[in-house]
Amino acid sequence: MAVEKTEIDTTASYIVFAVAGMCYLLMHIIAAKTSSTLWWGVDSWRYLPDALIITFGLTGLFSLFPVIQNFFKPLIIRLGRIVGSIPIIIWLIAAAIILYLFRQRTFFLGDGLLRIRSVEVNYLIFSFEEPLDTLLHTGIHSIVRYFFGNHGSTVIQGASITAGILAVFAVKYYLVKIYNNKSYRWFLGLIIASAGSVQLFFGYAESYTIVNLLLLIFLFSSLSMIKCEKESVVPAVFLSIAVITHPVSILFIPGALYAYWIKIHGNNTGISLIKRWLKPSGIFISCIGIIMIIFRVGGNSPLLFLKSYLHESNMLPLFSTESLYGIFSVYHIVDMLNETALILPTWILLIIAVPRIKFLRQNQTLLFLLLCSLGPLFFMSVFNPKLGYARDWDIFSLTAFPVTLLLGSIILESNPKRLFKIGFPLVVLSLLHTVPWILVNASVSSSTDRFTQLADTPHWPKDAKGIAHEALASYYRETGNIDKYFIHYHRAYDLTGNTRYFINIANMYLNIGDTEKLKVFIQKDSLNAAGHYYLGSAYLENNDIDRARSELEIALSLNTDYPGLHVQLGQVYLKSGRYDDSILEFKQSLEDDTLYKDGNVHAVHNNLAYLYAMKGMHDEAVIEYKKAIEIKPDFTDAHLNLAKTYYKLGKKDLAEKHARLALQYGSSKDDVDQVLRLLSVR
């Protein structure tokens, strides 16, 4: 009778599981045939041909039928034996090829475009929010840029693909080490490989790829320690490196403490117990200490690290506000469901796993995985995704691996005899979900279309939508589509009124020389000094000095410290013959910190020297020319002008020296010969 009841329970569980699988397929189909962004976690089929959508839907549906499973079972077993006999090096080469061929083609998700630009501009950057991650990316880039050019995407994508290759090796290595049963290995390996978060290994440009690899190794090495060995420092090493790579990894510490607790405690007491705790805790403290020392050496307080994470803007409010929806809002719940659907195709195992929750009390492996899952799940529910959930999904990708392993392990522990019946459709459904995601991200047109639609998600905060349109504008600028650049930046500015967007729009109008549209645009915020600055600069480029002076003086009245303003006014007064005013403006510009960041200080000193020379103040001119050359030794204009000034001062040797330096650094031979003729030197 007990056997019959067990069979009934098993059958009922499978029916519920099959219904959950059908619902998952139905979600993909609905998302594919509607334009709503509320389905963003399962909308990858939207960009497939109708025939392929039907094929995917039927394939997933048929995989749930036992008759289909029984038909394919012998074939899959034979295929598993063949593939399992392939050497690991072939696996890794195949992984490298697949990860590279289907790498991400655009960088809209997360803030990938910003990451790439930061790496390219700052060859050694150290972020409080992702310490080791940013240090690694920019450090590697500072080396390889000499061989491959200044392409931050090359380094970031290379790191992502390398992490994917190492993940394949680590999973295969530990599965063989932990499980003797080949079916168990294939099941866990495939559900990990088909988790939605593996997108991070396909050339993903963000700060969550390396940390996901480290935490995956931490999870498997901990499972190995719990199941097979005495305590090992390996889990502590990888968790410690993960924490200093991206501090959100601290959420896994409860799981680590439990794993070491069950291995170290027992018959150990007193000094022996303390000694055995020293290794893992010492490794963790050392890694944190190293990062804190780097903070201090860099002139930064370690407290900034804590402030960057504990800032109240990082947390969602309990209830919705004017700018943010709250933890208990419907939209937040919908977003969390989408996040779960995106990164956790194994969520449908909850239907089977929840009734078997009693196994958690009896099994150390499951308790460890549960502790590693609770932190990321809590983080997902309270953290504020400033770019919008659909774009900041990768922040919560740390949830995928521990929960996937937890759900898979519950099935192994509770119903191993029915593993193929559950595992076969689960893997099929997971692949039907994740593979299209990878294809969307590997397609320029599909990923651009998808992100364009997401940028106008109704329930996103305006700031998040503004940042999304800014990312699209940056993309279209790089591809040369200036019309769409303006469309998205105007949209971003209209949504938020952000001065950064205003400046970028005005600057682009200046760059393309469209003074009339610039003039119309700045009326949107006539009290913004930036608009008048750029309009004045446009008039200056067109040599319309009177209008340039008028606009720049308006900008000055609105903001006396606007970056670059005093340089432009100096140029206007120079061209107007107002030399004293020009000198005052150029001197004032030297107090502007942005001038030094932009690298234009040498030009200002050269202009000052020119003005002094025009006024007959040759000694003062020499001083300024020397300052310009000290800053930029190959500054040809300064060398040539200095040669002329020395000639007027009767210092022919110095005049000849700088004339020849001007020729060496690129001045035209005719200009140099003119000076040399004055010196009667041939």
Average pLDDT (521-550) is: 88
Q: Looking at the domain assignment, is residue 6 inside a domain? A: no
The size of the chain, in residues, is 682
Q: Does the pLDDT value for residue 9 go beyond 70?
A: no
In a domain, 345, yes or no: yes
Tell me the pLDDT tens digit for each residue of 220-231: 999 999 988 678
pLDDT at 249 over 60: yes
CA dist 283 → 203, 223, 287, 554 (Å): 31, 19, 6, 60
The token pair that represents 56 in the structure block? 């995917």
Across residues 422-450, what is the average pLDDT? 93
Give residue 5's pLDDT band: very low, low, confident or very high (50, 70, 90): very low
Residue 45 domain flag: yes
Asked if residues 164 and 198 have their Cβ atoms less than 8 Å apart, the reply is yes
Residue 142 in any domain: the answer is yes
- pLDDT tens digits, one per residue of 66-78: 899 889 888 988 9
Beta-bridge partner residues of 315: 383
- What pTM did the predictor assign? 0.83
Which tokens sit at 121?
Answer: 């501009």
Which has more pLDDT, 1 or 621? 621
Residue type, 196: G
pLDDT for residue 3:
44
pLDDT of 303: 67
For residue 308, pLDDT over 70 is answered with no
pLDDT of residue 2: 44
Q: What is the span of the domain harbouring residue 79?
A: 16-447
Question: What mean pLDDT comes out for the span 600-622?
Answer: 86
Looking at the domain assignment, is residue 603 inside a domain? no
Residue 106 lies in a domain: yes
401 phi, psi to nearest 5 deg: -65, -45
The reported pLDDT for the residue numbered 583 is 87
pLDDT at 485: 94
Instruction: Tell me: pLDDT of 593 over 80.
Output: no
Domain contains 562? no
pLDDT of residue 531 exceeding 80, the answer is yes
Confidence of residue 359 (pLDDT cuts 50, 70, 90): low
Q: Is 401 among the domain residues?
A: yes
pLDDT tens string 653-670: 888 888 888 888 888 887
Most confident of 108-112, 253-257, 283-287: 253-257
How many domains does the chain divide into?
1
Under the banding of pLDDT at 50, 70 and 90, the label for residue 269 is low
pLDDT band at 310 (very low <50, low <70, confident <90, very high): low
Reported as a single tens digit per residue, the pLDDT across 334-358 is 999 999 999 999 998 887 777 666 6
